[in-house]
Chains A and B, each alone.
Chain A
Amino acid sequence: MSGRIEKCFAGLKEQGRAALVTFVTAGDPDYETSLKIIQGLPKAGADIIEFGMPFTDPMADGPAIQAAGLRALRAGQTMKKTLKLVKAFRAGDKETPVVLMGYYNPIYVYGVEKFLTDAKVAGVDGLIVVDLPPEEDDELCLPAMKMDINFIRLATPTTDDNRAPVVFKNTSGFVYYVSVLGITGTKAPDLKSVQKNVNRLRRHTKLPIAVGFGVKSAEQARAITRSADGVVVGSALVSAVGNSLTKAGKPTSKTVKAVHSLVSEIASGVRS
C-alpha cells in the first residue's frame, strides 16, 4: 500500500483525535479554482481528501453534490483532468491521503487497468465507488487491491450483522459509515443510532470507521468523533462553493476562502 491512509489514522490515534475527511468535487467550479481549493484543504484542517469524480447520474447523491458534478462537467472536467488535479496536488503534498469517490461508469469507460495505473502514478491512495457492492468485487475492487490502492467501502444502516462480513471482506483503508438512510446532504444523522451502529460494526472490522452523510457543523463533527475514527463532510463544502459563485456560475474571490473557512470551523470541532 502507499500506506498514507493507514499512516494518517495511526498518527491521529497517537494525537488522540479523529480524522476530518473532506469531500469536494473535482473541477468544481473549474479546474484552476478546484486545484486551489484542494491545495489549501490540509492547512485548513483536512486530514484526508475525498475528491469526487463528476458523473451525470449520481444516484446516491443529493441536490448539492449533483449540482457540483454538473458545474464541473459544464466547465469541461473529465477523468483525465481529475487525475491531473491529483497529480498537481501531490506535487506539493506528499502526505495527505487522496481518495477518489464516484460512480463506476466513467472508470469503466476510461478502462479499469489504465485507470488504476494512471491513478497510482497521480498519487491516489484509495477509491470509493458507490455503485460497486461486494457482489461486483471482480470489476474494480480486486484489481485495485493488486495495485496497492485501497478500496474503501460504504457501510449503511442496512448493513446488518449478516451482511457486514461480506461488506468488509475486501475493504481496506477505512470504512465509510453512511449515517442516514438516504442520499448525501439531506437528513441530519441521529447521533445515538450512529454510535450504536459504529460500535456494532467494530465487532466486524479492525479498520478505522469514518462517518458521513448530512454532517454540516463543528458541533455534529465533535459529537460523531466521540464514537467514530473520522468524520466526513461533503455536501456542506460543495454548497459553500455553489453559494459563492456568480449567477453565471463563475468563481469569485470568495469561493476558495468559503470552503477553507468552513473546513477550519469544522476542524475545530474535531480537534477540540
Chain B
Amino acid sequence: MTKPLVNSFRTGPDEKGLFGIYGGRFVAETLMPLILELEQAYKDAKADPSFQAELDSFLEHYVGRPSPLYFAERLTEHLGGAKIYFKRDELNHTGAHKINNVMGQILLARRMGKKRIIAETGAGQHGVATATACARFGLECIVYMGEVDIERQKPNVFRMKLLGAEVVPALSGSRTLKDALNEALRDWVANVEDTFYCIGTVAGPHPYPEMVRDFQSIIGVETRRQMQAREGRLPDSLVAAIGGGSNAMGLFHPFLDDASVEIIGVEAAGLGLRTKKHAASITGGRPGILHGNRTYLLMDDDGQITEGHSISAGLDYPGIGPEHSWLHDMKRVEYVSATDKEALEAFQLCCKLEGIIPALEPSHALAHVMKIAPTKPKDHLMVMNMCGRGDKDIFTVADILGVTL
C-alpha cells in the first residue's frame, strides 16, 4: 500500500457522526432527541467497565465466543495458492454474526430502561438474533420484514415466532429489507417513549454505524489474536461479504491501520453489474441520503431508490454502511462483487470440500476467495469471514438447482 492519506483510519466518526462526507443524522425531528439520548447512553456504557464485562460474559457463555479461526485445508489445496482461514462466526448461537451486535444493543436497551424492542430484518438472521436476545431478557420484540422476504425465508420467520417475537410484514414499496427499515422507523416515530430500535447493520443515523461496528469488532479483534497465535503474524488479506456491511466492518476495523493487510469487501452482483438486477451499492451506485445517513445508494437519475437484487436476501439492500463508503473513497478497502451464479458455485464447493454449509451471504466472499487465492503465494494468509451458516438457504438453493424437497 502507498502512504496513507490520514494518520489513522480508525478514529471516525467525528462528533457529527461523519466519516468524511458520509454518515450523519438525516432523520425526522421526532427522532432527533432519541438519537441524541442513545448517543449519550452509548457513550456512558462504553466508559463503564461493568457494561463491557456483562457483554463479554454473555458473548462467552451465551453466544459461544470466541469463534474459531479455522484453517480450510482442503479448500486451500484445491485452489492451490493462499493459505485460507475461515473466521467461523457461523458457529455463534443463532448461526450468524448478527448476535454479536444484538447482545450489545439489548444490554444497552436494558440499561436505558426500554421494554419494547423493534428491529428490521432481511434474510431473517438479525430478526432471529433480536428475537433470541429479547426472549432471553423477557423483552417485547417486534420484527419488521418485507413481505417478499417473509416468503423466501420461511424457516427464520417461524424461528422468530417460536422465540416469541411478532413478525410484521412490510407491505410498502418493494416489500424487502429497505421497506422493513422504513416501517421500523415509522414504528419508532410512533412509539418514542418505550421503544429501542435495534438496527442490524452498520447503517442508519449516527450513532448506529459506530455502535454496531464497535459491537461487531470482536470478530476482527479475535482474528488478530488467533492469527498471531497460529502463524505468529498478521494475515495478509481479509475478505468479507457486504450487504449493509456489518460482518465486514467487524472483521476489517481492527486491521484498518495495518498497511500490510489487504482488505476486500465483496458486494452482491446479482445477475451481473451490467443488468439492473444487482445490489452492489459501491460498484454500481452513487452517494445519496437514505435511512438517516449519506452513503452509496442504488438509485435512478431522479434520486428515487431502486431495488437491490441478490440470490441472498441478506445482501439485497440498496445501500451500504457509511464507513464503507468512506473507506472506498479513501481507497483503504477494495470493493468488488460476485454474482449469484458465482456465489452458488462457491456455496456448493464449500459444502463438498470443507463440510461446511455456508450462508449465501459469505458464499459471495468465498466466490472472491476462489478468484484471488490461486494468484497468491502459498505463504499468503487469507481470512474469509464465514459470517453465517446456510441452513436457512437450503430451500432457495434447492429451488435454483431444481430439486424438490
Contact = CB atoms under 8 A, between A and B. Distances in A.
Nearest to B307: A56
Interface of B: 16, 24-34, 172-173, 178-179, 182, 185-186, 189-192, 288-292, 294, 297, 299, 301-305
30 contacts: A56-B173, A57-B179, A57-B290, A57-B305, A59-B182, A60-B186, A60-B189, A63-B172, A66-B172, A73-B304, A105-B288, A106-B304, A108-B288, A108-B294, A109-B303, A130-B28, A131-B26, A131-B28, A136-B24, A154-B28, A154-B30, A156-B30, A158-B31, A163-B32, A163-B33, A178-B29, A181-B189, A182-B186, A183-B189, A187-B190
A135 B29 CA distance: 10
A106 B34 CA distance: 26
A57 B182 contact: yes
Given A135-B24, A167-B29, 15 more contacts: A55-B304, A56-B304, A57-B305, A59-B28, A60-B28, A66-B172, A105-B303, A133-B28, A135-B16, A156-B30, A158-B29, A158-B34, A159-B29, A159-B33, A187-B190
Contact of A135 (B32, B290, B303): B32
A194 to B, nearest CB: 15
B303 A59 contact: no
B302 A158 contact: no
Contact of A57 (B24, B28, B29, B178): B178
B289 A131 contact: yes
B303 A108 contact: yes
Contacts of B297: 105
List 9 tightest A-B contacts by C-beta distance, closest first: A109-B303, A182-B190, A106-B303, A156-B30, A131-B26, A60-B28, A56-B305, A59-B185, A105-B303
Contacts of B16: 135
Contact of B27 (A57, A108, A133, A157): A133
Interface in A72-129: 73, 78-79, 103-110
Contacts of B305: 56-57, 105
A260 interface: no
A153 interface: yes
Contacts of B303: 55, 79, 105-110
Nearest to A70: B173
Nearest to A178: B30
Given A56-B173, A57-B305, A104-B289, A133 B299 contact: no
B289 A108 contact: yes
